[in-house]
């Protein structure tokens, strides 16, 4: 009823292949973007930026990256933390070595460097599959983090093994460091993430995306109909790592400002991003956002609700929060194993039929 | 003995022993994977949970003590913990697995992560997060006999763990390969729906394997708990078991042991002989790299079932 | 429709009353299907692709849950008892076994282990099981040759034999056969239906079979239902159906007198449908 | 409504390091609650303790910091990040937000330089001081610094920023005194240290130092006992010297040494006040029999420093409604004399502390305590040692000026 | 057969192929050829090695012995994607569609080898990449029209009934504009009506595009009607090769495969 497609005719393939072929979707997205770009910046403060919006957006970017690899190409990776570290350390080395370099270029270059590292660690995927591959990618995770932690060069010989983001401007506006205005950081990340999401969407609906999905769904058949597994898997690793690397770059450069390899890019990070895409929906860009929102916001909301709202002791609240997070994950998996994105889709289908059940 | 050679031996034996300790954890993974195709991420937390429960039954100040004013002797506490693990398995089946029949492996994997959170939270709420020194009477410290006679340093606890692991593996391997239930377990791992269609009750099977792996988790929890006290970090040993798991093969009980031995020896030798040149602390990634190298030659692990590729 | 034409009095072993099935919350697939299977009967379930045959069988054996399908309406009565809420294994224990479409074998188990797994619910001793194993091997000698191979590596037809053989190992009283002849060589198709006939006559096993090979199916069964678009559109004794003009034209390919060559079909036939 | 003094506490009562985080947080909490109960707060102004759980995780720490920093009515007067990682994170932000941070005995060592880090405090001592004191102590035990020559000293460290802190100092000291320095990293969480201790067994270092945290401490002490390493040659940093660390090793841990800048035990008058005003009134979060544990007392002394700074601020600015900026002034004017400690119910609990504008690390003195496994008790066995200024000071200077340069900070005049 | 059909030179020759897995011999010294433009059937009992033969032809299995000549090029084995890019497409016995994708996307993958625009352009999705995408979409729509599956264009294939999936699979193979099309039991699990449709598609592809077809099928009616020549395998060996009529009357074939000729359909088609 509300969500009616009837009457929306498409008279050429181009419009059928548009990003949001249905008008309601288009409107919805435009409204969301409008709010995000125009309204939010006026209201956002330090807390909302640093505790909520930046982590959400940056994790969403990482989740898109991992989703390209895992959700679209079917290669489960637990090396996300390590690849984010590559992005972060590239950013650190690049900005300190070339202070004049535009930060946008720094982020892109960090992505590119991560992509090349990703390709190297993607090579085993040609032979190793499924959970074997997942566990094997932990080799990348542990090795990369160890390497950054170990060799002074990566840390500019800082004796304590921490890296710091020096303050940088783009077009005369301070963008990194503690003095950068929250709305500036937010908008910068928002623009970046939106463009990346759009590019990701474009990739997955084109030839490359289809060959990834083919590999995911049945790699042998894909090979037999002429998709080169080598090419498909390695591009997936490259593109995915590119995204994850950029996320790592923003994560360090804009959000945290300082990072220690083992703590900031540990294996928890890898798992966190993996949760996001599974809960959000494998093989869905929208799902990456929903998953990131759930995993980053849910604990905070629960905590604030329990501590500020119910007045529970902090520690009790934390224990309940952990338990509840687990329960919610299980609950949503049982309700819809294919994540929020699928839930959203079902909701749309129901809306389309409403008020009839079928 | 030549001190260099002695050191080499010690490292190798130390590695073997450490490997056995990893194997104990890996074994729990293998059981569940083999029997249901689920990569049970909660295994580490299950070890912790079992050890916490065990401690609570035995130690002064626990729930039992507070409510009833007495504590159980070790054997009774172990028996009771086994009962707890079986109940836990039942609950897991009842509230989670039942609804996830025929889902993709990664979804099931995610579910076990959710489970890990729940267990962690509940464990914290129930038992608190202090370090709890666990003593079930397993001998501790270096073996004096070996020390005095051969100048060899081997932990008694680890010798004990190795013996336990050997027994466990033998029993489990026979169980899987030879019994009717064992066959059914493997069938379930292959195809949930087809298993249902021949009358295998997934629910019973799942309760059985999760119970068994709960018991294995208890064994691992006892060993690791005796070694480093019962505390949250215990759940992180799962990460040490993963390379063992892929090297041995997800589906092989003996693989868990052999994998453990190889990883244990490999990482210790690397750390001791190669580590100093690159700054040390290479054990962790080295274990994974080692497993990775083996996998490149055998993508299903040393003893894993061949991955069937057909059209 | 089914009720008034009940085949053999009131001795219906299985009665499906007006069931509705929905997949994935939104896809309505069965829109009120009723059918009845008499004790000792052989009933054929016919219909085009996607008519809902497999879905019907799966709702009887309760295997729908695994595909996120649910029976939302109607009832399923087996031996005068509602089995709607029983788990699949309880059904197997009561003698209802389904052979699923598309050869669901246990890939990593050997052929013989697959067969033995079929006897999982039985408790009448090793000897009896061994005997049945021999019997299955007698029916399908090819399986005996390949008994030590992993099922995942056997050919399509071998897997098909295996899943039929596996069902037989359970010694069921009602077998739900979903496209048993698919992918089998002609003489084996014959063999399969022979087995159906023999088991039905000698061991009083009841069959409900979904088949595309209409001709065969109707020749070996006593009663038939034709499903279209999730509804039963026609049912009757096998012989009556065989004589029905529409059935002849659309399912048997005999228009007028004789069968046409596939090569001579020069246009896609606009099918006549009983129900849209 | 009445003015309240907002004092956040970023605790970690969950996660792998909870066993250490809990007693510290309890000590901090209990002292403040005691003040509220006994004196109605500081100079009659009640304290509002804002707890936030970080699980020792940097990202959650950032969220916590942002959440608590503007708590009404006074804003956060002083933040205890309670983790080296979180401290590093907060240093630049707090400097912009103008909120004093006290990373007591952890965090960034070069924050000792108040000229570059006006908002960050790390008194009474830094890791580099601790390392220097260890070297001094060893020298003393060896019968003179000159005897260090040719000795072999190992460092078993947590492979993180925290664990790596002492390396530079020890390297410098090794250069100066001619001992052989042997760093051995242990990865988080540190349950398996076989390789490390086999190496120690083989290399037989004369002394072993440890910068560990969490389960790593317990395992290391057990392993050391197993390889029969003499416990009185095994020295842990002050974060490796709590009851939690030694108890699991049982008798094997007897004689183990660790650094400390305050006394253990619950025998001080302040503890009685706490029992009376907090435990008897059911305001406590912990258990009564754990009062006086090493980490509990550490939390307590942190609270003492913070509240004294606030009291100072009130005095200096002559107002009860202090702001973070005023508290910073109070910190920089902190002078906790022996007499004052006695007044506070902490006689001989620790050494006097004097903080100044350019010295944010205070006295920089460390004592050594020893574990008695029979009595299950820690006891101080030495006086407080001075740091080695000739080694540590240049390092602080170097590191802080590098930071200043990187972040375009002009050091202020003091 | 009313019209005399004309065939070109052999597009494919397999020579003396032997293939075994451990102890199991799947193929033993099999040789035959496929002429350009013909419909070539491969039949034989279950487990005879038919599917294995197709797997050898498009490079999934590597025979221990023997040579394959395709379009004049002789090699011991093919690489699967090489085979695909040289114009060999196929369908599979156990449907091998990409379950998570829609019908349209599945068929679009068939055109993968023909699409060239690089990742960068695709990420932007403007200009050449979009152009290319639309061109191929148009071709795919032809295929969809041809197979009459317009209605399920956007449905995920996992939800489709068996018969439809087979059709989509054929569509995917056709989208590659193959010169040689290998079909593994395309009509299994279909009812008569659908088989007729499928035969029609096969013959039309053969007529309209001149695509050479090699097909495995157990339905003798279909095989006898639409194929030009038939190879019969049994236990990995070739036991007969010839026109349908020759094969049908071959005693070996009757014994090994057809059984006693009693099948109605067969009888019926003989009457024809
Ligand atoms: N898991 C599922 N999810 C969604 N829809 C499904 C699912 N399984 C089947 N369907 C739909 O249900 C309808 C009936 O399918 P069913 O498999 O019962 O048909 P069938 O008669 O057995 O066909 P066939 O002869 O091809 O096997 C089809 O339209 C199909 O698209
Ligand atoms: N990868 C493999 N590993 C082991 N054995 C195999 C493999 N592939 C095929 N086989 C065996 O080779 C023989 C031929 O198999 P193939 O699939 O070619 O038979 P087919 O003629 O297609 O039979 P069907 O008509 O039943 O599909 C079978 O016995 C099969 O079990
Ligand atoms: Mg069907
Ligand atoms: Mg075949």
Spatial neighbors of E132 by CB under 8 A, at least 6 apart, are E115, E116, E117
One DSSP character per residue, chain B reads --HHHHHHHHHHHHHHHHHHHHHHHHHHHHHHHHHH----TTHHHHHHHHHHHHHHHHSTTSHHHHHHS----HHHHHHHHHHHHHHHHHHHHHHTGGGGTT--HHHHHHHHHHHHHHHHHHHHHHH-SS-B---SS---SB-HHHHHHH----BHHHHHHHHHHHHHHHHHHHHHHHSHHHHHHHHHHH-HHHHHHTT--HHHHHHHHHHHHHHHHHHHHHHHHHHH-BSGGGGGGHHHHHHHHHHH-TT-HHHHHHHHHHHHHHHHHIIIIIHHHHTS--HHHHHHHHHHHHHHH-TT-SSSPPPP---
Closest ligand to E233 CA?
2
Among chain C residues, the shortest Cα distance to E195 is held by C262
Neighbouring chains of C at 3+ CB pairs within 8 Å? A, B, E
pLDDT at A4 (0 to 100) = 63
Ligand 1: which residues within 6 Å by Cβ? C 23-24, 27, 29, 47, 49-55, 67, 101; E 159-163
- The mean pLDDT value of chain D amounts to 93
CA distance B175 to E60: 37
Choose among B186, B196, B306: nearest Cβ to C88.
B196
Among chain A residues, the shortest Cα distance to E129 is held by A206
Extract the tokens encoding D182: 């042997």
Name the 3-class secondary structure at C93: helix
Name the 3-class secondary structure at C35: strand
Asked whether C and D share 3 or more beta-carbon pairs under 8 angstroms, the answer is: no
One DSSP character per residue, C182-195 reads TT--HHHHHHHHHH
Q: Which domains does chain B have, with CATH numbers?
A: 3-297 (1.10.3470)
A27 burial level (CB within 10 Å; 0-12, 13-18, 19+): exposed
* Cα–ligand 2 centroid distance for E68 (angstroms): 20
Parts of chain B with a pLDDT under 70: 1
Residue B255 with chain A: CB contacts under 8 Å: none
Interchain CB contact of C150 with B (< 8 Å): yes
Interchain CB contact of E248 with C (< 8 Å): no
- Asked if residue A345 lies in contact with residue A338, where contact means CB atoms within 8 angstroms, the answer is no
Phi, psi of D314 (to 5 degrees): -60, -40
- Asked if residue B268 lies in contact with residue B284, where contact means CB atoms within 8 angstroms, the answer is no
Interchain CB contact of A120 with B (< 8 Å): no
- The mean pLDDT value of chain E amounts to 86
Residue A46 with chain D: CB contacts under 8 Å: 66, 69-70, 97
Residue D1's pLDDT band, with cuts at 50, 70 and 90, is low
CA angle in degrees (0–180, nearest 5) for C160-C167-C144: 60
Residue C269's pLDDT band, with cuts at 50, 70 and 90, is low
Residue A206 with chain E: CB contacts under 8 Å: 117, 122, 125, 129, 133
- Asked if residue D200 lies in contact with residue D234, where contact means CB atoms within 8 angstroms, the answer is no
Interchain CB contact of C121 with B (< 8 Å): yes
Distance from B152 to chain D by nearest Cα, in Å? 10
Extract the tokens encoding A44: 């956002």
- Total number of residues shown for chain C: 276
Interchain CB contact of A333 with C (< 8 Å): no
Ligand 2: which residues within 6 Å by Cβ? B 310; C 146, 149, 153-158; E 21, 24, 26, 44, 46-52, 93
Among chain E residues, the shortest Cα distance to A238 is held by E119
What integer is the mean pLDDT of C65-88?
88
CA distance C218 to C196: 13
pLDDT at C251 over 90: no
CA distance D83 to D196: 25
Among chain A residues, the shortest Cα distance to C27 is held by A358
What H or E segment, with its residue span, contains residue C254? strand C254-255
CATH superfamily placement of domain C12-95+172-243: P-loop containing nucleotide triphosphate hydrolases (3.40.50.300)
Helices (H) and strands (E) in chain D, counts: 13, 14
pLDDT at A118 (0 to 100) = 96
Name the 3-class secondary structure at A184: helix
* Cα–ligand 2 centroid distance for E76 (angstroms): 20
Question: E10-271 domain in CATH 3.20.20.70?
Answer: no
Residue D160 with chain A: CB contacts under 8 Å: 149, 161, 260, 262-263
Interchain CB contact of A351 with C (< 8 Å): no
pLDDT at B63 (0 to 100) = 85
* Cα–ligand 1 centroid distance for C53 (angstroms): 8
Extract the tokens encoding B142: 């270096």
**End-to-end CA gap in chain A:** 12
- CB count in 10 Å sphere of residue B306: 15
- CB count in 10 Å sphere of residue A311: 8
CA separation, residue A352 to residues A357, C26, E102 (Å): 10, 11, 20
- Asked if residue D296 lies in contact with residue D401, where contact means CB atoms within 8 angstroms, the answer is no
Question: Does residue C187 or residue D6 have the better pLDDT?
Answer: D6
Choose among C49, C102, C149: nearest Cβ to E163.
C49
CA distance D126 to D111: 9
* Cα–ligand 2 centroid distance for C54 (angstroms): 26
pLDDT at C216 over 50: yes
- Every domain of chain A and the residues it spans: 46-267
CA angle in degrees (0–180, nearest 5) for C258-C261-C266: 115
pLDDT at C186 over 90: no
CA distance A250 to A189: 7
Distance from A119 to chain D by nearest Cα, in Å? 27
In this complex, do A142 and B284 lie within 8 Å of one another by their Cβ atoms? yes
In tens, the pLDDT along A23-51 reads 788 888 899 999 999 998 988 888 999 99
pLDDT at C10 (0 to 100) = 54
Q: How many CA atoms lie within 13 A of A192 on its CB side?
A: 30
In this complex, do B113 and A150 lie within 8 Å of one another by their Cβ atoms? no
User: How far is CA D160 from its chain centroid?
Assistant: 17
In tens, the pLDDT along D52-90 reads 999 899 889 999 999 999 888 889 999 999 888 899 889
Phi, psi of D351 (to 5 degrees): -80, 160
pLDDT at B1 (0 to 100) = 67
CB pairs under 8 A between A and C: 11
In tens, the pLDDT along A248-295 reads 999 999 999 989 888 889 999 999 999 999 999 999 999 999 999 999
User: How far is CA E244 from its chain centroid?
Assistant: 18
- Asked if residue D346 lies in contact with residue D271, where contact means CB atoms within 8 angstroms, the answer is no
Closest CA to B45 of B100, B92, B97, B104: B92
In tens, the pLDDT along A151-166 reads 889 988 887 778 889 9
* CA diameter of chain C: 58
- Every domain of chain C and the residues it spans: 12-95+172-243, 104-171
Interchain CB contact of D215 with B (< 8 Å): yes
pLDDT at C203 (0 to 100) = 85
D413 burial level (CB within 10 Å; 0-12, 13-18, 19+): exposed
CA distance A33 to D408: 37
Interchain CB contact of C275 with A (< 8 Å): no
Residue E170's pLDDT band, with cuts at 50, 70 and 90, is very high
pLDDT at B308 (0 to 100) = 80
- Asked if residue A250 lies in contact with residue A61, where contact means CB atoms within 8 angstroms, the answer is yes
b/e map of D164-190 (b: 16 or more CB within 10 Å)?
bbbbbbbbbbbeebebebbbbbbbbbb
pLDDT at C254 (0 to 100) = 63
- CB count in 10 Å sphere of residue A203: 25
b/e map of D342-374 (b: 16 or more CB within 10 Å)?
eebbbeebbbebebeebbbbbbbbbbbbbbebe
pLDDT at C244 (0 to 100) = 82
Phi, psi of E113 (to 5 degrees): -65, -15
Long-range contacts of D144-152 (CB under 8 A, 24+ apart): D145/D177, D148/D177, D148/D178, D148/D179, D149/D177, D149/D178, D149/D179, D150/D178, D150/D179, D150/D180, D151/D179, D151/D180, D151/D206, D151/D207, D152/D179, D152/D180, D152/D182, D152/D203, D152/D204, D152/D205, D152/D206, D152/D207
* CA diameter of chain B: 65
Closest CA to E202 of E142, E270, E147: E147
CA distance A121 to B285: 13
What integer is the mean pLDDT of D190-196?
89
User: Which of B194, B307, B309 is the mutation pick for testing C, counting most C CBs within 10 A?
Assistant: B194
What integer is the mean pLDDT of D254-280?
95
In this complex, do C156 and E192 lie within 8 Å of one another by their Cβ atoms? no
- Asked if residue D40 lies in contact with residue D103, where contact means CB atoms within 8 angstroms, the answer is no
Return the beta strands (E) in chain E as ranges: 10-21, 24-35, 39-43, 65-70, 73-75, 88-90, 180-184, 212-216, 229-234, 237-242
Interchain CB contact of C102 with B (< 8 Å): no
CA separation, residue B4 to residues B1, D197, D308 (Å): 8, 15, 58
What H or E segment, with its residue span, contains residue D335? strand D335-336
What integer is the mean pLDDT of C106-115?
92
Phi, psi of C15 (to 5 degrees): -130, 120
Q: How many CA atoms lie within 13 A of C143 on its CB side?
A: 27
User: Ligand 2 atom 16: the closest Cα is on which residue?
Assistant: E49
What integer is the mean pLDDT of E96-123?
88
Residue C206's pLDDT band, with cuts at 50, 70 and 90, is very high
Extract the tokens encoding D394: 């240049």
D259 burial level (CB within 10 Å; 0-12, 13-18, 19+): buried
A31 burial level (CB within 10 Å; 0-12, 13-18, 19+): exposed
CA distance A164 to D271: 41
User: Ligand 2 atom 5: the closest Cα is on which residue?
Assistant: C153
């Amino acid at each position: 009823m509300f969500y009616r497609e009837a009457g929306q005719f498409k008279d050429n393939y181009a419009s059928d292949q548009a990003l949001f072929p249905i008008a309601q979707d288009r409107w919805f997205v435009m409204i969301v973007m409008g709010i995000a770009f125009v309204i939010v910046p006026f209201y956002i403060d330090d807390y909302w930026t640093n505790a909520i919006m930046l982590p959400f957006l940056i994790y969403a970017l990482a989740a898109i990256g991992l989703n390209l690899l895992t959700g679209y190409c079917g290669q489960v990776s637990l090396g996300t933390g390590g690849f984010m570290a590559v992005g972060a350390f590239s950013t650190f080395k690049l900005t300190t070595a070339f202070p004049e370099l535009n930060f946008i270029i720094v982020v892109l270059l960090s992505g590119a460097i991560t992509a090349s590292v990703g390709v190297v660690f993607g090579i085993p995927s040609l032979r190793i599959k499924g959970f074997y591959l997942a566990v094997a990618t932990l080799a990348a995770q542990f090795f990369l983090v160890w390497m950054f932690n170990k060799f002074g060069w990566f840390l500019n010989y800082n004796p304590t093994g921490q890296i710091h983001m020096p303050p940088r401007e783009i077009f005369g506006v301070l963008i990194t460091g503690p003095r950068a205005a929250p709305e500036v950081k937010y908008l910068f990340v928002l623009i970046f993430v939106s463009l990346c999401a759009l590019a990701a969407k474009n990739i997955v609906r084109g030839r490359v995306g289809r060959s990834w999905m083919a590999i995911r769904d049945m790699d042998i058949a894909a090979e037999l109909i002429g998709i080169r597994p080598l090419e498909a898997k390695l591009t997936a690793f490259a593109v995915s790592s590119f995204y994850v690397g950029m996320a790592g770059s923003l994560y360090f450069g804009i959000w945290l400002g300082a990072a220690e390899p083992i703590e900031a890019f540990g294996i928890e990070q890898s798992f966190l991003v993996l949760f996001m895409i599974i809960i959000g929906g494998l093989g869905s860009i929208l799902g990456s956002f929903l998953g990131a929102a759930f995993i980053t916001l849910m604990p905070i909301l629960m905590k604030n609700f329990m501590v500020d709202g119910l007045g529970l002791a902090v520690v009790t609240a934390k224990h309940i929060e952990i338990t509840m997070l687990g329960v919610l994950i299980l609950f949503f998996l049982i309700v819809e194993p294919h994540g929020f994105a699928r839930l959203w889709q079902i909701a749309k289908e129901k809306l389309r039929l409403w008020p009839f059940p079928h | 003995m030549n001190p260099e050679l002695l050191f080499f031996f010690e490292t190798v034996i130390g590695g073997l022993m450490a490997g056995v300790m990893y194997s104990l954890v890996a074994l729990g993974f293998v059981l569940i994977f083999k029997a249901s195709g689920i990569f049970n991420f909660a295994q580490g937390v299950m070890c912790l949970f079992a050890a916490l429960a065990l401690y609570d039954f035995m130690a002064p100040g626990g729930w039992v003590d507070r409510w009833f004013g007495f504590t159980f002797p070790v054997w009774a506490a172990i028996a009771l913990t086994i009962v707890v693990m079986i109940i836990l398995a039942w609950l897991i089946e009842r509230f989670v697995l039942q609804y996830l029949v025929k889902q993709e492996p990664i979804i099931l994997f995610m579910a076990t992560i959710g489970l890990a959170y729940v267990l962690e939270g509940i464990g914290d709420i129930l038992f608190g997060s202090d370090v709890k020194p666990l003593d079930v009477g397993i001998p501790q410290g270096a073996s004096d006999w070996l020390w005095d006679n051969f100048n060899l340093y081997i932990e008694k606890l680890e010798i004990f763990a190795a013996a336990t692991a050997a027994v466990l593996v033998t029993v489990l391997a026979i169980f899987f390969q030879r019994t009717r239930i064992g066959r059914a377990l493997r069938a379930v791992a292959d195809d949930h729906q087809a298993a249902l269609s021949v009358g295998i009750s997934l629910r019973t099977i799942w309760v059985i394997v999760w119970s068994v792996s709960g018991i294995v988790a208890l064994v691992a929890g006892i060993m690791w708990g005796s070694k480093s006290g019962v505390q949250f970090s215990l759940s992180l040993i799962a990460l040490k078991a993963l390379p063992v798991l892929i090297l041995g093969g997800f589906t092989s009980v003996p693989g868990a042991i052999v994998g453990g031995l190889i990883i244990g020896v490999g990482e210790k030798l690397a750390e001791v002989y190669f580590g100093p040149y690159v700054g040390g602390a290479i054990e962790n990634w080295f274990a994974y790299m080692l497993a990775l190298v083996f996998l490149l030659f055998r993508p299903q692990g040393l003893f894993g079932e061949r991955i069937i590729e057909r059209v | 429709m089914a009720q008034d034409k009940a085949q053999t009095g009131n001795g219906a072993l299985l009665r499906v009353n007006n069931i509705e099935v929905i997949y994935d919350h939104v896809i309505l697939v069965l829109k009120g299907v009723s059918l009845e299977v008499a004790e000792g009967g052989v009933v054929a379930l016919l219909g085009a692709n996607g008519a809902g045959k497999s879905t019907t069988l799966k709702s009887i054996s309760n295997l729908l849950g695994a595909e996120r399908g649910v029976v939302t309406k109607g009832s399923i009565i087996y031996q005068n008892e509602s089995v709607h809420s029983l788990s699949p294994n309880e059904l197997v224990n009561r003698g209802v076994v389904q052979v699923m479409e598309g050869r669901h074998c246990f890939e990593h188990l050997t052929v013989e282990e697959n067969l033995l797994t079929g006897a999982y619910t039985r408790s009448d001793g090793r000897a009896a099981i061994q005997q049945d194993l021999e019997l299955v091997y007698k029916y399908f000698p090819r399986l005996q040759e390949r008994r030590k191979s992993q099922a995942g590596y056997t050919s399509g037809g071998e897997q098909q034999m295996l899943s039929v053989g596996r069902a037989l190992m359970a010694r069921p009283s009602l077998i739900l056969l979903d496209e048993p002849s698919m992918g089998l060589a002609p003489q084996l198709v014959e063999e399969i239906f022979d087995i159906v006939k023999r088991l039905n006559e000698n061991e009083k096993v009841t069959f409900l079979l979904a088949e595309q090979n209409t001709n065969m199916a109707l020749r070996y069964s006593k009663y038939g239902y034709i499903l279209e678009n999730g509804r039963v559109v026609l049912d009757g004794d096998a012989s009556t159906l065989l004589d029905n003009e529409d059935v002849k034209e659309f399912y048997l390919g005999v228009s007028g007198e004789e069968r046409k060559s596939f090569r001579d079909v020069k246009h896609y036939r606009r099918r006549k449908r009983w129900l849209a | 409504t009445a003015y309240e003094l907002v004092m956040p506490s970023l605790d970690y009562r969950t996660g792998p390091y909870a066993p250490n985080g809990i007693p510290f947080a309890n000590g901090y909490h209990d002292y403040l609650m005691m003040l509220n109960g006994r004196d109605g707060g500081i100079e009659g102004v009640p304290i509002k303790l804002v707890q936030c759980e970080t699980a020792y995780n940097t990202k959650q720490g950032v969220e916590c910091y942002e959440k608590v920093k503007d708590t009404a009515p006074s804003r956060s007067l002083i933040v205890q990040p309670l983790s080296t990682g979180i401290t590093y994170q907060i240093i630049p932000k707090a400097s912009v937000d103008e909120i004093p941070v006290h990373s007591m005995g952890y965090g960034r060592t070069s924050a000792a330089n108040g000229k570059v880090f006006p908002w960050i405090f790390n008194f009474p001592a830094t890791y580099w001081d601790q390392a220097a004191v260890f070297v001094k102590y060893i020298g003393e035990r060896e019968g003179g610094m000159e005897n260090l020559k040719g000795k072999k000293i190992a460092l078993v460290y947590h492979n993180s920023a925290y664990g790596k802190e002492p390396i530079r100092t020890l390297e410098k000291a090794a250069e100066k005194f001619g001992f052989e320095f042997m760093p051995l990293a242990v990865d988080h969480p540190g349950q398996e240290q076989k390789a490390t201790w086999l190496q120690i067994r083989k290399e037989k270092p004369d002394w072993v130092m440890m910068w560990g945290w969490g389960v790593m401490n317990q395992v290391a002490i057990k392993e050391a006992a197993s390889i029969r390493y003499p416990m009185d040659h095994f020295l842990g940093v002050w974060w490796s010297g709590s009851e939690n660390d030694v108890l699991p090793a049982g008798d094997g841990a007897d004689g183990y040494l660790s650094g400390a800048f305050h006394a253990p035990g619950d025998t001080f008058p302040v503890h009685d006040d706490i029992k009376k005003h907090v435990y008897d009134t059911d305001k406590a979060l912990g258990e009564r029999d754990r009062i006086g544990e090493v980490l509990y007392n550490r939390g307590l002394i942190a609270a003492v420093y913070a509240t004294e700074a606030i009291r100072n601020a009130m005095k200096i600015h002559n107002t009860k409604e202090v702001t973070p900026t005023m508290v910073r002034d109070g910190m920089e004017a902190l002078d906790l004399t022996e007499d004052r400690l006695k007044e506070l119910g902490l006689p001989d609990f620790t050494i006097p502390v004097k903080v100044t504008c350019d010295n944010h690390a205070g006295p920089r003195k460390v004592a050594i305590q020893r574990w008695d496994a029979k009595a299950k008790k820690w006891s101080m066995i030495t006086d407080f040692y001075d740091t080695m200024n000739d080694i540590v000071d240049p390092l602080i200077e170097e590191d802080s000026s590098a930071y200043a340069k990187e972040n375009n900070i002009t050091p202020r005049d003091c | 057969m009313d019209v005399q059909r004309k065939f070109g030179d052999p597009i494919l020759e397999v020579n003396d192929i032997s293939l075994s897995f451990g102890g199991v011999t799947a193929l033993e010294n099999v040789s035959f050829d496929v002429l350009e433009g013909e419909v070539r059937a491969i039949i034989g009992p279950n487990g005879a090695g038919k599917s294995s033969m197709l797997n050898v032809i498009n490079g999934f299995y590597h025979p221990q012995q023997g040579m394959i000549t395709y379009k004049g090029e002789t090699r011991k084995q093919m690489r699967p994607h090489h085979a695909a890019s040289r114009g060999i497409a196929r369908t599979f016995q156990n449907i091998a569609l990409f379950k998570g994708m829609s019908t349209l996307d599945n068929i679009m993958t068939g055109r993968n080898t023909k699409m060239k625009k690089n990742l960068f352009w695709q990420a932007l999705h403007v200009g050449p990449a979009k152009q290319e995408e639309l061109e191929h979409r148009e071709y795919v729509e032809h295929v969809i029209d041809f197979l009459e599956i317009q209605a399920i264009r956007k449905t995920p294939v996992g939800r489709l009934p068996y018969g439809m999936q087979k059709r989509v699979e054929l569509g995917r193979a056709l989208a590659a504009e193959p010169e040689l099309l290998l079909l593994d039991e395309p009509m299994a699990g279909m009812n008569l009506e659908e088989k007729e449709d499928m035969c029609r598609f096969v013959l039309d592809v053969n007529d309209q595009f001149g695509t050479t077809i090699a097909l495995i099928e157990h339905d003798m009616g279909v095989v006898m009607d639409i194929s030009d020549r038939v190879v019969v395998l049994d236990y990995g060996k070739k036991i007969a090769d010839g026109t349908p009529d020759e094969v049908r009357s071959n005693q070996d074939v009757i014994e090994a495969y057809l059984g006693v000729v009693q099948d109605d359909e067969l009888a019926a088609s003989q009457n024809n």
